[in-house]
Amino acid sequence: MNESKMKLTTTLAVMAVFSITMCLGAITPAIAILMQVYSDVPPATITFVSTLPSLLGIPASIIVGMLVGKKIGIKKMAIILILLFIVTGCAPTFINGFPLLLVSRALFGLAIGGLSVLGNPLVTSLYVEDKRANILGIGTFIAFGGAMVMQFVGGFLADLQWNYVFLTHALAIIPLVLILFFLPEQPLQADEQTQKTKKHIPAKAWAVSLLFAVMGILIMPLLLNSSVISATMSDKATIAATVAVVYSIGCMLGGIAFGPVYKIFKRYCMTFSLIVTAIGMVGVFFSPNITILCVSMFIAGIGYCSAMPAAMMAIGMVTPPESVAFATAIMMALMNVGSFLSTAWLLVIGNITGDAVYSPIMIGAIVYGVIGVLIIFFNPFPKQSNEVV
């Protein structure tokens, strides 16, 4: 269904898929309360409520990437995963005991890990190439926007009663309805073609995925340590929350800006995005006050979240259509692995430099800048037909 003009309702349904892919943080407002409720459980173990879904999302994304478009259609898979998202996301409201809470969160990770794979193949199959940059950018904007809405609703519900925070996931009923009624089902790949191409992931797609694993390792210290840095400038929790929100706003604008960025820089759009991220990280490192810190986090958010749709678009352009879902699954899985390994990265840098707050941010900025320059010469995007060099 590659049409130059797509129905508004279809685009809304596609955006509905993106809207719940970044919603792990919906329960963040209740973490501190959880530590009080389960005071007999070590605080470090409580954090598994947030991290366990990410770990389970890794195999889920791979499995969904292998099945979707080949054994089961994208629309059917989206409906199944959103139902799982709602049921497992809301379940802790009605169950007792920390072990059952962890089980429900693990199952929730399967849902959100699988959902993270669906956006890119949908965009690749539904939109012509010159429309994909805008749609992927808007999708990133919607993903972070949906995460912010759920986090705000989660905070409101947690203030009413701590376990109500999990009811936030019931908001996924809205995208479920949009997908159910307005998302067209794409035909499955022919069995013979699937057998020939199911494992064909081009080297460039692997390279982009590995790149984003590294980026995941390096961006997490910025997100984690920005609250520590803001705490040295102000002892108010609302200030730390403001810094996080400003970064999220930057992420949303970075997504929406990707379309224009791609039109200007074409196959060098990822270089632009990575260097902008590096500039933001350097700004955080040298921030003398909250204002500069917020501006720097905003810039870093724009850079990082315009690089994400750039990577997805690059994968979509170099990968055969029937393998885009699996290639996207590999990218998302490696990003999650990178995020998980970031804790170990912080420990290593802290032990080497004696500084686990500022040093990882500056090292990340340097690596982002270097990779941004190298991509000029080792570009994952296919060369444009009108390029001389």
Please report the DSSP string for 162-182 in residue order: GGGGGGGGGGGHHHHHHHHHH
Please report the DSSP string for 316-385 in residue order: HHHS-GGGHHHHHHHHHHHHHHHHHHHHHHHHHHHHHHS-SSSHHHHHHHHHHHHHHHHHHHS-SSPPPT
The distance of Cα 351 from the centroid of its chain, to the nearest Å, equals 29
Q: Are 95 and 104 in contact (CB under 8 A)?
A: yes
Q: How far apart are CA 335 and CA 360, in angstroms?
A: 18
What pLDDT is recorded for position 49? 83
Neighbour-count burial for 267-285, b at 16+ CB within 10 Å, e otherwise? bbbbbbbbbbbbbbbbbbb
Q: Are 84 and 139 in contact (CB under 8 A)?
A: no
**What are 127's strand-pairing partners?**
3
Q: How far apart are CA 115 and CA 128, in angstroms?
A: 22
Q: How far apart are CA 38 and CA 119, in angstroms?
A: 37
Q: How far apart are CA 366 and CA 386, in angstroms?
A: 33
Burial of 336 (0-12, 13-18, 19+ CB in 10 A): buried
Q: Are 116 and 147 in contact (CB under 8 A)?
A: no
Q: How far apart are CA 336 and CA 322, in angstroms?
A: 23
The distance of Cα 207 from the centroid of its chain, to the nearest Å, equals 18
What pLDDT is recorded for position 172? 96
Closest CA relative to residue 276, chosen from 308, 310, 301: 301
The amino acid present at 376, given as its one-letter code, is I
Q: Are 227 and 326 in contact (CB under 8 A)?
A: no
What pLDDT is recorded for position 197? 47
The pLDDT tens digits along the chain (389 residues) read: 444 445 788 999 999 999 998 887 788 767 778 878 888 888 767 877 877 887 888 888 889 988 887 788 899 999 999 999 999 999 999 988 899 999 999 999 999 989 988 988 888 888 887 788 888 889 888 988 888 888 778 878 888 888 898 999 999 999 999 999 999 887 776 544 444 444 578 888 899 989 888 988 888 888 777 767 877 787 665 676 677 778 888 988 888 888 888 889 888 999 999 999 999 999 999 999 989 999 999 999 999 988 988 888 888 888 888 788 888 888 888 887 887 787 788 888 888 988 888 999 999 999 999 999 999 998 888 876 444 43
What sign has the CA pseudo-torsion 131, 135, 136, 141?
A: positive
Q: How far apart are CA 389 and CA 371, in angstroms?
A: 20
**What are 152's strand-pairing partners?**
none
